[in-house]
Every structure is written in C-alpha cells, then in structure tokens.
Amino acid sequence: MATSPATIVLDVVGHLAFSNRRASQLFGVGTRDLGRPFQDLDLSYRPVELRTHIAEAVQTRQPVYLRDVRWERIPGEPAAFDVLITPLADESGRLGVSVTFTDVTPYRQLHSELESANRQLENAYAELQSSNEELETTNEELQSTVEELETTNEELQSTNEELETMNEELQSMNDELHATNEALREGQDEINRLNSFMVSVLGSMTSGVVVVGEDLQVLAWNSTAEDLWGVRSDEAVGEHFLNLDIGLPVDQLRQPLQNQIAGPAAGPERLEVEAVNRRGRRMRVRLTVSRLSVDSEPPSGAVIIMDPAGQVD
C-alpha cells in the first residue's frame, strides 16, 4: 500500500500553518507546532537546509524540486526523499509555501540494486569474453601440444630402450651403493663414539670450556661453563658467543678471539677479568684463548678455557 507524502504548509509570514500525519511521523511536527516560526523547527534544516530553497521559491514564484535528499533518521536505515517546494498565493497575492516530501527510498534501493546487477552483468560479460579468448588460445596450444606429444612418443620409445640398458647399469650401481652405505654407517657409528668421547672429556674438565667456530657461534659448552654462568649447553650451542647474556664480560674477548681465528699463527692469549657468576657473586676469572686447528691447516675456530681465580671483595 502506497504511503502518502509528508506535507507541511507555511503561511505568508513563514509560520507553520499545516502538517499532515506523515509529516508528524517522519519529522515530529504536529498541532503543537502550528503557528511557530519555521526557522525554530528542526525540519527547517534537517534532513536538508530548506530556508534558502523556500526563499528561492517565493522570490521566483516557481516550484523548487530537490531530488534524492538522503537522511538516516534511524541509524542503519537510510532513507531518500524527493522534496517539492511550491509557492502558494492568497487572495491578496501574498505567498505562502507548500513543502512535500515524497519517500523514494524503495525506488532508490531498486535503482542501486539495478546498477549493481548491471555492473555484475558487465563484469560477467567481460570475463566471458576473456575466457573465450583464452579458450581459443588454449585450443591452438592443445593442437600444437598434440603434435609435440606424437613426436615425444616416438622419442619415448627410443628412450625406453635406453632406460632398460640404464636400469641394468643402475642395478649394478645399487649393489655398489649398498656396500658404500654399510661403510658410511660404520663411519657414522665411529663419529658418534668420538662425539660421546669428546663430551665425556669436556664434562670431566674442572675448567669451563667453550668452543666457537670461525663465525663465533658456540659449538661446545661443557658442564663447568653451565655451572659458572647458569646457561645450559642446549641454550648456548648455536648462539653467537659475544651475544650471550652471562656474567662474563664477553666483549673483552672480541680481540683475542679475532687474533686467534684471523690473525697470524701465535700462541694462546691469557687474560684475567672480573665477572659475576650465576649466583650473583663477583669473582676473578682467568681466561685462555687458543686457536682451534688441525696440524698446519687454517684455524676453524677457537677454544676458551675459564678458571675461577677467587672472589672479589
């Protein structure tokens, strides 16, 4: 069922002379507002500034039409109105004004939905055109691929014969690899035994021992080092030695480590520093930094030996 437009009438001096029920429902103007100056009503500026347009209609004696005035009277429910301002003359020729608000919200919604549908249709058509061109290109490629496959099939026949010959050779190689694998397994067992031996040796030492690589990443960290600084081996191994947050002033070891790893062959460097152990006690620590190398090969890292030298008062 259609809803009648909201209508108000202003007399010649700009006072509210009439408002219908729809105007009262939408804008809250009613009989209590009759005779009030229009500029005192919220309707004079909401949903649209009307006073300027009313003055224009009175001056030109021509209707003023405002299209698609948007207003969100209820949050989340936008509405749209077409507003018609019509000058009215009394018997003496003086002008009043009729203002009519036609609710066009359903039409605007339909229009928006139609525009959206048209956009979707245009996009779908463009995608269809693009898909058609891709299919044509794909068809040409498939034709070319069929020809290539026929050629490939002939080559595969020839390759198959070669593969049979290679399979026999690979079988022979597999037997050899199996024997090599057994030898590698035995070698790995020997490495594991050596690693266990090294861990046992480092663990039995009463000095703290740290082994670092050329990049100063920790490779080994014995139990005495754990007890001194409160850092477990699994926490230290793989970390950059100079970045470890321990009570030892590691930055003082930067130059000795560089000397041993990158410098000319020289004997171990010894120094004594003040440090804080894992219990928070200040102590003196004797440090010996020596290069890690095998025979005459270039150094692959360095070894740091740490011996407590007494507490600091």
CB-based contact 301:214 (threshold 8 Å): yes
CB-based contact 23:39 (threshold 8 Å): no
Question: Within 13 A of 252's CA, how many CA atoms are on the CB side?
Answer: 14
CATH architecture of the domain covering 6-103: 2-Layer Sandwich (3.30)
Model pTM score: 0.41
Residue range 189-203: mean pLDDT, rounded? 62
Average pLDDT, the chain: 86
Residue ranges per structural domain of the chain: 6-103, 107-148, 201-311
Residue 9 has pLDDT above 90, yes or no: yes
Residue range 77-87: mean pLDDT, rounded? 92
Q: Is 284 helix (H, G, I), strand (E, B) or coil?
A: strand
How are strands ordered across the β-sheet holding 6-10? 16-19, 6-10, 95-103, 77-89, 64-74
CA distance 63 to 84: 7
Q: Would the CATH topology of 6-103 be identical to that of 201-311?
A: yes
Q: Structure tokens of 140?
A: 């040409």
SS3 readout for 96-137: EEEEEEEECHHHHHHHHHHHHHHHHHHHHHHHHHHHHHHHHH
The string of pLDDT tens digits covering residues 236-289 is: 999 999 999 898 999 999 999 998 888 777 789 999 999 998 898 999 999 999
Tell me which of 192 and 39 has the higher pLDDT.
Answer: 39
- Give the residues across from 307 on adjacent strands: 286
**Residue where the block lists tokens 């360095």:** 302
**Residue 198 pLDDT level (bands cut at 50, 70, 90):** low
The string of pLDDT tens digits covering residues 146-162 is: 888 788 778 868 777 88
Instruction: Specify the CATH number of the domain 201-311.
Output: 3.30.450.20
Residue 42 has pLDDT above 60, yes or no: yes
Residue range 201-225: mean pLDDT, rounded? 88
Q: Structure tokens of 120?
A: 């979707």
Q: Structure tokens of 97?
A: 């004004």
CB-based contact 211:301 (threshold 8 Å): yes
Write down the pLDDT at residue 299. Answer: 80
Residue 191 has pLDDT above 90, yes or no: no
Write down the pLDDT at residue 306. Answer: 93
Tell me which of 28 and 195 has the higher pLDDT.
Answer: 28
